[in-house]
Amino acid sequence: MLLPIIMAGGTGSRLWPLSRQLNPKQFLPLADSNLSMLQATIKRLDGLNAALPRLICNEQHRFLAAEQLRQLGLDSASILLEPTGRNTAPAIALAALQAYSETQDPILLVLAADHLIADVEAFHASVRSALPLAEQGKLVTFGIVPTHAETGYGYIEKGQPLGGDAFAVNQFVEKPDLATATDYLASGDFLWNSGMFMFRASRYLEELERFQPEILDACRKALAGGQQDLVFTRIDAVAFSACPDDSIDYAVMEKTADAVMVALDAGWSDIGSWSALWDVSAKGERGNVFKGDVLDQGSRNTYVHADSRLVSVVGVEDLVIIETKDAVLVAHKDKVQDVKKIVEQLKRDDRKEHINHREVYRPWGVYDSIDEGHRYQVKHITVKPGAKLSVQMHHHRAEHWIVVSGTAKVTNGDTTFLVTENQSTYIPIGQIHALENPGVIPLELIEVQSGPYLGEDDIVRFEDKYGRVPPAVNAEVTSISVPALAAPVLPS
């Protein structure tokens, strides 16, 4: 059985201000599509006769991931949550342990959620070429046929031909300088390292135990101490925090004697920067890519994304201009790798523009922080039909709710009542309250918060249908029964 494992971690800081810590690039529709990068990765599996994909993501992205799976009709797909990032070797170990314990040692197809592959048929052909090698116990990596001398990727050197597009791996090499990359391209013996893999779960676990047993031990303990919460697998955070941070390349692929490579020529890109996104986007006659409300006079080779307002460009060239509701980026295309330095500066200055957008998605809907000042904040809140915010209270703020459209079912202390369009209600500081949309159309309201502290961490939850309360008081959370994972018996 072919089991896709999709890694959806990372923050995509080079694509700021669209990609942010709580809404990173894998959850955004970037490449001329209405689908997010994650959704496009999943749809790319159609036709491969693969099992339902399993997702690995950071715990803070769980509801965003679940909603995007729901939109594809994959409500029951399993999502494995990492409490903190520990790189690709531990993430894949968790998935392999879980898959090995639940199925008959499947072949794992490990994919990143944020890659673009333009030629899906060529991708399928490479996956099918890799299958017999994985069945033989090989650890397959996919090497991208290079199109230019790229210094931003690692490379893999071809070894002995194995038939078709498959080769033994001679060596993995780090990101080269331009002269070295040019030599690699001319030789025809080096392919880009894609970060995509295929192998049996047991073979990866065997090699990990041989070369990095500390990682495997920590992952066994983390998964064995985990809990099942709806479609989410929550691993033990304390055990996982002791896990070494290492990539699959360093931990296993560069050390194993069974690494092989299948060449992939399918219009691949990891969309690692704004210039990379410009490269793969459909362009106008002067090389421009415009998204949103954009007016232009005489500009060339420029990428403009207008998120919430009109952006006008006159006579500019080779620029990237990204407008969002709370931030604007203007950069030369040759300098877009330095966007991450802006993100680092935002972190040093203790700002929040790198964390989330003004619009914040929640499992019940979305809110937009439309204004804020000293002791007040104003939000536009949209609650999906049938959705309910947690039963909660605040120590430092009062709230005034004004319904714009739809009907709100409000719990305010000991009283529950309906609030309809143009009506309002007031929630005092310290009052236990809840908000629900009992109707069939979205509920929209304006919330005015007032008080000395208005942070999102001033929420004490007593009950929540989405599991956002401690497991001790959440009846939907149950322990995972994983006796086999304490010490899995791997085939010799």
Helix (H, G, I), strand (E, B) or coil at 378: strand
Residues 333, 263 share a domain: no
- Residues of the chain above pLDDT 70, percent: 95
Quick one: 308 and 396 in the same domain? no
17 preceded by cis ω (within 30°)?
Answer: yes
Query: What are the φ and ψ backbone dihedral angles of 314, each rounded to 5 degrees?
Result: -130, 115
pLDDT for 488 equals 39
Polymer length in residues for the chain: 492
pLDDT band at 11 (very low <50, low <70, confident <90, very high): confident
**pLDDT the model gives residue 432:** 97
108 & 51 share domain: yes
Rg (CA), the chain: 25
Q: Are strands 415-419 and 408-412 parallel, antiparallel or unpaired?
A: antiparallel
Report angle CA 85, 466, 385 to the nearest 5 degrees.
Answer: 125
Q: How far apart are CA 252 and CA 141, in angstroms?
A: 11
Rounded Cα distance, 8 and 30, in Å: 15
pLDDT at 466: 82
Looking at the structure, do residues 241 and 191 belong to the same domain, yes or no? yes
The C-alpha angle with vertex 207 and arms to 204 and 210, in degrees rounded to 5, equals: 150
Strand partners, 434: 411
Domain of residue 209, CATH code: 3.90.550.10
For residues 454 and 323, state if they share a domain.
Answer: no
Dihedrals phi, psi of 395, to nearest 5 degrees: -85, -25
Residue 410 burial (10 A CB sphere; 0-12, 13-18, 19+): buried
Q: How confident is the model at residue 218 (pLDDT cuts 50, 70, 90)?
A: very high
In this predicted structure, the answer to whether residue 286 has a pLDDT above a threshold of 80 is: yes
Q: Is residue 491 part of a domain?
A: no
User: Residue 484 pLDDT > 50, yes or no?
Assistant: no
Higher-confidence residue of 472 and 285: namely 285
Q: Are residues 279 and 375 in the same domain?
A: no
Nearest residue to 273 via CA among 340, 356, 347: 340
Cα 200 to chain centroid, rounded: 24
In a domain, 404, yes or no: yes
Q: Are residues 109 and 22 in the same domain?
A: yes
Whether 489 has a pLDDT exceeding 60, the answer reads: no
**Dihedral pair phi/psi, residue 211, rounded to 5°:** -105, -30
What DSSP assignment string belongs to 90-151? HHHHHHHHHHHHHSSSPEEEEEETT-EES-HHHHHHHHHHHHHHHHTT-EEEEEEPPSS--S
Q: Check whether 367 has a pLDDT greater than 60.
A: yes
Q: What number is the average pLDDT over the span 295-319?
A: 97
pLDDT greater than 80 at residue 377: yes
Percentage of the chain exceeding pLDDT 90: 85
Q: Tens of pLDDT along 86-97? A: 999 999 999 999
- Per-residue model confidence (pLDDT) at position 469: 67
Q: Do 256 and 279 reside in the same domain of the chain?
A: no
Q: What is the pLDDT of residue 460?
A: 94
**DSSP string computed for 211-244:** H-HHHHHHHHHHHHT-EEETTEEEPPHHHHHTS-
What average pLDDT does the structure give for the chain? 92
Q: Which residues pair with 307 in a beta bridge?
A: none
- Residue 239 shares a structural domain with residue 117: yes
145 plus 285 within the same structural domain: no
The conformation of residue 341, written as its DSSP 8-state character, comes to H
pLDDT one-digit tens code per residue, 316-352: 999 999 999 999 999 999 999 999 999 999 999 999 9
- 250 domain residue, yes or no: yes
Res 471 pLDDT > 70: no
Q: Is 353 part of any domain?
A: no
Dmax (CA) of the chain: 76
Tell me how far the alpha carbon of residue 26 is from its chain's centroid.
4
Whether 234 and 278 share a structural domain? no
d(CA 405, CA 91): 44
Specify if 296 maps to a domain: yes
Strand 408-412, strand 433-436: pairing: antiparallel
pLDDT tier, 474 (very low <50, low <70, confident <90, very high otherwise): very low
Is there a domain that residue 482 lies in? no
Instruction: Read off the tokens for 105.
Output: 């040692």
Whether 195 shows a pLDDT value over 50: the answer reads: yes
Angle between helices 201-211 and 213-224 (to 10 degrees): 120
Q: Is beta strand 268-269 parallel, antiparallel or unpaired with respect to 116-117?
A: antiparallel
Contact 127, 111 (CB under 8 A): no
In a domain, 49, yes or no: yes
List, in order, residues 6 or more apart from 295 with CB less than 8 Å away.
Answer: 310, 311, 312, 313
SS3 227: strand
Structure confidence at residue 361 (pLDDT): 86
3-state secondary structure (DSSP) of residue 196: strand
Q: What is the number of structural domains in the chain? A: 3
H or E segment and range at residue 182: helix 178-187
For residue 252 the two structure tokens come to 């296993």
- pLDDT band, residue 32 (cuts 50/70/90): low
481 CB neighbour count, 10 Å cutoff: 10
Domain closes at, from 229, 246, 269: 269
CA atoms within 13 A on the CB side of 63: 13
Residue at 229: amino acid letter: D
Q: How far apart are CA 312 and CA 330, in angstroms?
A: 13
User: pLDDT at residue 21 above 50?
Assistant: yes
Tell me how far apart the alpha carbons of residues 112 and 490 are, in angstroms, rounded to a whole number.
Answer: 26
Domain contains 488? no
Q: Is 405 helix (H, G, I), strand (E, B) or coil?
A: strand
Instruction: Of 233, 2, 197, give the one whose Cα is nearest residue 89.
Output: 197
Domain range for 318 is: 274-345
Q: Are residues 341 and 258 in the same domain?
A: no
Average confidence (pLDDT) over 182-189: 95
Q: Give the tens place of pLDDT for each residue, 62-86.
A: 989 999 999 999 988 999 999 999 9
Of the candidates 480, 487, 61, 484, which has an alpha carbon nearest to the alpha carbon of residue 235? 480
Which tens digit of pLDDT belongs to each residue from 132-159? Answer: 999 999 999 999 999 999 988 999 999 9
- Smallest CA-to-CA distance from 168 within 305, 262, 52, 244 is with 262
Please say whether the beta carbons of 297 and 234 come within 8 A. no
CATH code at position 453: 2.60.120.10
Do the strands 232-234 and 268-269 form a parallel or antiparallel pair, or are they unpaired? unpaired
